[in-house]
Amino acid sequence: MKYIYIMVLLFCYNSNLQAQNSLTGKITTNNNEPLLADIYFPKIEKGAATELDGSYTVTKIPSGSYTVLISAIGYETVSKTVVFNDANYETITLNIVLNESAIEIEAVILSTPFHKLQSDNVMKVERESINDLNKKGSVTLADGLSNIAGVETITTGAGIGKPVIRGLSSNRVLTYSQGVRLENQQFGDEHGLGINEAGIESVEVIKGPASLLYGSDALGGVLYLNPEKFALEGNTNADIRSTYFSNTLGTATNFGIQTSGKNLKFLARGAYSNHSDYKTGADYRVTNTRFNEKDFKTGLQYKADGFRSTVRYNYNRSNIGIPEEIGEQTKSKDLELPFQEIDNHILSSENVVFLKNSSFDIKAGYLFNDRREFEDDNNEAALRLKLNTLNYDIKYNLPKTGKIETIVGVQGMFQKNENFGEEILIPDAKTVDFGILATSHYHLEKIDFQGGIRYDSRSIKSEEAFEIGDVEYIAPIDKTFNSFTAALGAKYDFSEQLTARLNFASGFRAPNLAELTSNGVHEGTNRYEIGNNSLDNEQNFQTDLALEYGNQHIEIFANGFYNSVNNYIFLTPNGDVIEDNNVFNYVQNDAKLYGGEFGIHLHPHPLDWLHLESSFESVTGKQNNERYLPFIPANKFKNTFRVEFKPSNLLKESFAFVTLESTLDQENPSTFETRTGGYSLLNAGLGSNFTLPKMNFYLGLTGTNITNKSYVNHLSRLKTDGIFNTGRNINLNIKFSI
């Protein structure tokens, strides 16, 4: 890979990259009044703000085709394409008239190619800022994700959460952080995300097969975590944020600094959180659900004409208790046995090389995960797994041909798993991935088409563990899995208010090392799991239909999907008991999942401060023998009343909300689950930004489960022990920015 990288750089610097192109123009309202707006090129991360007369100029733009976004508070965001031909100097004039809108400024979508606004995208992508998730009272990043329609979380206490997208989870949902795929032994049901929300700006969710763009493990969808942006050129920013959680008596604090010069940008952020055992609505604390986390993120970016390089690093240390039974009631934050201690390192490099009318995107990541489980007082880990991963992603954006844009690329991964403890759940092994893809986009006035094809190969070679005849014996394997996947989608604008999206996509997932080779007790799930080395690829085909209607008074969306999965892999008990734990085997069967999301957002003009939001989400998962799949979330309604107060000289972005979240009975459990009763949770919050001399100050107060309801979520791994979920929690959130 390094030779490809060097060749690209040499080609770059031998090309005509010094073209000093400019974009200039004026932004006005329908009444021809000048408007304060932002002009931004997502691809080159370059932009400008308008002057008081609405004029703007963006300079030093390399030759090529670019999407430029024009946005202003209270107005629709506009996306335009500008093309700078191969010339020494070219100036394009772009004057834009923006229409008023009660909708918030549309954010840039990074997880998909081509269009960068969701309103223009062929694929349906959900995006939420971390600030907005925090305002809703989330304790962790995984907890906050459940506020996104179609996304739920499998939990083991308050500190461990795994996202579920439309009924699919674990290795079927691929997570991207810092632009590279996250690999941290995510096969385990008792393993959390391993990512702290500090230093993450937003999360994007692709709900459905994304194997065309990301390869194996994106069969069910993708979580794309966008890191915080660097400061604008010539600026230095700093902020500190602290949150208190009444339920766990916990705190979470992070501090960050950013500084940017003409060509060089730098940022750093540190975070620490500490929580005691969570308290249920039945007024007892769940023993050993305490956890703490240290996190450090930093980044460096260099920009020059025709080239941008970004390096980021993240270190995370998580200490998480493993709950077993309700014991001594204490508010202590000191860890008790058993517990996990996890170190996670992510080093990523993202480079963009701009050629005459095309560009290379080159990403590489090195990840190291050191997972330890302690079960006794000898200070030595009974289970210790070290995972080294190197992945790469090289894409070439071909010159635009008429209305067609095309991207070709290769992706791959080299991975090594090693054991250093006396217990072995999965053996030492090496995994190698390779994929090649091509995708194109065709744009017409009212309709957009997007499609592509991809080939993937994954090889897994493991060593044997223990000796033949031992109960714990694991046989070696040497297997290769491969697959073709494809996708085709279209977006049609019936009018300015009504848009439809129809997508067909296939996905592929090779069995992971745990599913093929497991043989041991998983402490966090109280199961003895036995792998199956005869498992085949999971292959799926999903159809998505999305309708959206919006005007100045109301927005309505309806999303439906049908997902057919061949060779779906799942755990099922075989009736045996080993070491006082029920034995579960990995098996597979064809399955189907179907459902969708529906929502309405009322914001009657001119009462733009008033928002009434309602949504409903549903998913059903069945095997082809009509038996239900495990860990399928129950249907859920959510109703929110939200007000946004008009800004004053002192108060900015003030808000208040009340939400009633109603989860229905889960009457369709799998063969080894039981039904789960429904419940309703009342949440509320308020907050405001205060503008002080040379400083911004945010103060927020949020309450979740205000009535202290005793309930059990169907996706809680503590349900089998009859343990309730979190009771009332009050969050106090304070942030200073300079």
Q: Are residues 405 and 546 located together in one domain of the fold?
A: yes
Q: Are residues 530 and 662 located together in one domain of the fold?
A: yes
**pLDDT at position 84:** 82
In a domain, 525, yes or no: yes
Q: Are residues 89 and 215 located together in one domain of the fold?
A: no
**pLDDT at position 523:** 63
- Four-CA torsion 317, 203, 265, 23, nearest 10 degrees: 170
Burial class (CB in 10 A: 0-12, 13-18, 19+), 284: middle
- Under 8 Å CB-to-CB from 459, ≥6 apart: which residues? 431, 432, 478, 479, 480, 481
In a domain, 192, yes or no: no
Q: Are residues 90 and 231 located together in one domain of the fold?
A: no
Pairing verdict, β 538-550 and 610-623: unpaired
Pairing verdict, β 173-177 and 447-462: unpaired
Is the separation of the CB atoms in 639 and 656 below 8 Å?
A: no
In a domain, 222, yes or no: yes
Helix (H, G, I), strand (E, B) or coil at 174: strand
Q: Are residues 210 and 84 located together in one domain of the fold?
A: no
Is the separation of the CB atoms in 372 and 350 below 8 Å?
A: no
Distance of CA 248 to the CA centre of its chain: 25
Any idea what the Cα angle at residue 539 is, between residues 410 and 713, rounded to 5°?
A: 110
Pairing verdict, β 64-71 and 38-41: antiparallel
Which run of H or of E encompasses 724? none
Among 86, 101, 116, residue at a domain's last position: 101
Nearest Cα residue to 471 out of 338, 586, 577, 324: 577
Domain count across the chain: 2
DSSP string across 648-672? -SSEEEEEEEEEEEEEPPB----TT
The CATH number of whichever domain residue 712 belongs to comes to 2.40.170.20
Residue range of the domain that includes 664:
203-321+333-737
Among 101, 126, 142, residue at a domain's last position: 101
Q: What's the token pair of residue 431?
A: 């995994």
Helix (H, G, I), strand (E, B) or coil at 24: strand
Report the alpha-carbon distance of residue 661 to residue 681 in Å, rounded: 5
Report the alpha-carbon distance of residue 622 to residue 409 in Å, rounded: 36
End-to-end Cα separation, the chain, in angstroms: 42
Is the separation of the CB atoms in 446 and 469 below 8 Å?
A: no
**pLDDT at position 8:** 43
Per-10-residue mean pLDDT for the chain, 738 residues long? 43 46 90 87 82 88 82 82 76 88 70 80 88 84 86 88 90 92 82 88 90 88 93 90 96 96 94 96 95 97 88 96 90 92 96 87 96 87 94 93 92 96 91 96 91 96 91 92 95 92 94 90 77 94 94 91 94 86 91 95 83 95 92 95 83 90 95 93 94 88 96 92 94 93
- Under 8 Å CB-to-CB from 6, ≥6 apart: which residues? none
Q: Are residues 565 and 714 located together in one domain of the fold?
A: yes
In a domain, 195, yes or no: no
Is the separation of the CB atoms in 335 and 274 below 8 Å?
A: no
The CATH number of whichever domain residue 61 belongs to comes to 2.60.40.1120
Among 55, 82, 101, residue at a domain's last position: 101
**pLDDT at position 300:** 97
Q: Is the peptide bond before 338 cis (omega within 30 degrees of 0)?
A: yes
